[in-house]
Amino acid sequence: MPFSTTSEKASEPSLPQATFRFRCIGCASVTAAAPQDFRCCECGNLLEITDSTWNSRNPVALKTLWRERRTLNESLDLSGVWRFRDLLPAPQSERQVVTLREGNTPLYDLPQSSRTTGVQSLFAKHQGMNPTGSFKDAGMTVAATFARQAGYGWVACASTGNTSASMAAYAARGGMRSLVLVPEGKISWSKLSQALDYGALTCQLRTDFDGCLRLLQELVKRAPVYQLNSINPFRLEGQKTLAFELLEQLDWEPPDHIIVPGGNLGNSSAIGKALLETLELGLIPRLPKLSVIQAEGANALVRTLREADGKHLVSVQAETRATAIRIGNPASWEKAVKVLQATGGACEQVSELEIAQAKAEIGAEGIGCEPASAVTLAGLKKLVRQGFVKREETVILVLTGNLLKDPDFTMEFHRGDLFKGTALEHESASLNPLRHPPVILDATLDAVIKALEQAEKSGPTPSSA
């Protein structure tokens, strides 16, 4: 079932007429409709969404309008995604919009990490504060809206956990059924349990994420299911709003660096697209550098750039405890390469120990995140050492998932079990000062007071700014 973009009539005045098109990132051919697999019929490359009307907006008027909408109680304005609808593909009707009031995520300063890295102006944009606990919601509201508008009964995704949780929630809200394909034993229980609660048909496949995605690509050609992986360009449109919202929070003074984790590479592609569009429109005077950080064991983009100069994908057999980014064959690698080149960003990899340390440090700021998000802080440390990030520059770390997404990792870390029986066991002792294991005590006043005294002796009070 081809997906048409032509709108019959806009029934609410708050939404503009749909004028967007699909453009191939390879051969640049433009079409009004996209095939089921969201690949170009001419050359097979990925599609992106363009809209010639975006460029004609007045940047000053847009900034005022977006700020005004924050004071309104209309459903679209309460969403931190649809508030920016002027630079998003327009659905035919507001009634089609599936929203959980996503976006509107906080920008936190990181005083402790600022001290340890020496970067004075360091912030975290916490996408883990979205309704299902990850950045996926920003893209899902847009893609689920267009799935509903196209009349699909089923939506489907392959996932390392967060996409499936988000998709299942938005499908449930939008009255659609959802099919989840996840690698068996390789996603966290919290994410899996979300999909179950939101009513998805959840299939744990005996393969990895890349195997799940391959299967889904075949499935969408055979069955009337709508694919909600980040290959779906509507997802990336929604994820653009992270950048719009961030820039607005910085009063449109662009930071020097934005650092994101890289898995399937949809998010970096989306943020990069947003930055280029805001520059072209005159919303910002210059581009931040967008850098992508991967786990050493899932470093396809790092190797693609180092070994193939970004010209072809170097796939890897992915292995990392940061299961969200345990991906060896990232679908959007070409989009990400273009974004890195356009913004002058870096691509780095970090070790399992560095990830665990950074995650504990972000937790100690009272913020917390899931392991995949912590690669950003670990990567920043490397980029500072390399001189790529200067200490006087402004840096934004994009935290993609909530601390509660992977409690097993956190518990194992604090109990000292995370690296037990692995080659890293000995080395991981260096992380002991960051561990805060629970203590089991008799239920007596004496025992608790002794524990307090012990804690007082063993470490300083956490310091704030």
Report in angstroms how near the CB of residue 98 gets to ligand F0G at its nearest: 18
In 3D, which of 42, 38, 266 has the Cα closest to residue 147? 38
Site for ligand F0G in 42-101 (CB under 6 A): none
Which of residues 18 and 298 has its CB atom nearest to ligand F0G in the complex?
A: 298
- Tokens 């629970």 appear where? 438
CA distance 359 to 171: 31
Q: Which of 321, 294, 317 has the alpha carbon at shortest distance from 419?
A: 321
Stretch that binds ligand F0G, among 244-252, 369-377, 415-423, 427-435 (CB under 6 A): 369-377
**Closest distance of CB 327 from ligand F0G, Å:** 6
Provide, rounded to whole angstroms, the least separation between the CB of residue 267 and ligand F0G.
3
Minimum CB distance to ligand F0G, residue 403 (Å): 11
Q: Work out how close the CB of 118 gets to ligand F0G at its nearest, in angstroms, rounded to a whole number.
A: 25
Q: What CA–CA distance (Å, rounded) separates 408 from 189?
A: 8
Q: Find the binding residues for ligand F0G in span 139-198 (CB under 6 A).
A: 159-163
**Residue 217 in the binding site for ligand F0G (CB under 6 A):** no
Q: Nearest approach, Cβ of 127 to ligand F0G (angstroms)?
A: 8
Binding track over 401-440 against ligand F0G, x by CB under 6 A: x---------------------------------------
Does position 368 interact with ligand F0G (CB under 6 A)? The reply is: no
| # residues contacting ligand F0G (CB under 6 A) | 22
Residue from 370, 378, 397, 410 touching ligand F0G (CB under 6 A): that is 370
Q: Evaluate whether 279 touches 344 at the Cβ level (below 8 Å).
A: no
Q: Are 369 and 399 in contact (CB under 8 A)?
A: yes
Residues 379-408 that bind ligand F0G (CB under 6 A): 400-401
| Distance of closest approach, residue 228 Cβ to ligand F0G, in angstroms | 10
Among 88, 97, 216, 372, binds ligand F0G (CB under 6 A): 372
Instruction: Indicate the DSSP class of residue 87.
Output: G
Task: Output the smallest distance, CB 378 to ligand F0G, in A.
Answer: 13
Q: Which of 36, 92, 132, 134 binds ligand F0G (CB under 6 A)?
A: 134
Residue with tokens 């909408």: 69
Q: Which of residues 249-278 bind ligand F0G (CB under 6 A)?
A: 261-268
Q: Please, what is the minimum distance in Å from the beta carbon of residue 410 to ligand F0G?
A: 14
Sheet holding 201-205, edge to edge: 201-205, 177-183, 154-158, 225-227
If the CB atoms of residues 90 and 265 are measured against ligand F0G, the closer one turns out to be: 265
Burial call 51-69: b when 16+ CB within 10 Å, e when fewer: beebeeeeeeebeeebeeb
Instruction: Confirm or reject binding of residue 210 to ligand F0G (CB under 6 A).
Output: no
Question: Whose Cβ is closer to ligand F0G: residue 122's or residue 369's?
Answer: 369
Give the Cα-Cα-Cα angle 407, 104, 231 (nearest 5 degrees).
70
Closest CB to ligand F0G among residues 94, 371:
371
Instruction: Give the full edge-to-edge strand order of the sheet including 21-24.
Output: 30-31, 21-24, 47-50
Task: Give the C-alpha separation, 83 to 241, whole Å.
Answer: 9
> Least distance in Å: CB of 352 to ligand F0G?
16
Choice between 190 and 400, CB closer to ligand F0G: 400
DSSP 392-461: TSEEEEEE-B-GGG-HHHHHHHHHT-TTTTSTTTTGGGGGGGG--------SSHHHHHHHHHHHHHHSPP
What are the DSSP calls for 105-135, one per residue?
A: --EEE-HHHHHHH--SEEEEEEGGGSTTSBT
Question: What residues from 311 to 330 belong to the interface with ligand F0G (CB under 6 A)?
Answer: 324-325
Q: Give me the half-sphere count of Cα atoms (radius 13 Å) on the Cβ side of residue 342.
A: 19
- From its phi and psi, is residue 352 left (phi > 0), alpha (psi between -120 and 50) or beta? alpha
In terms of CB distance, is 176 or 355 closer to ligand F0G? 355
DSSP symbol at 95: G
Q: Which of residues 225-244 bind ligand F0G (CB under 6 A)?
A: 230
Q: Which residues of this protein are in contact with ligand F0G, per CB under 6 A?
A: 134, 159-163, 230, 261-268, 324-325, 370, 372-373, 400-401
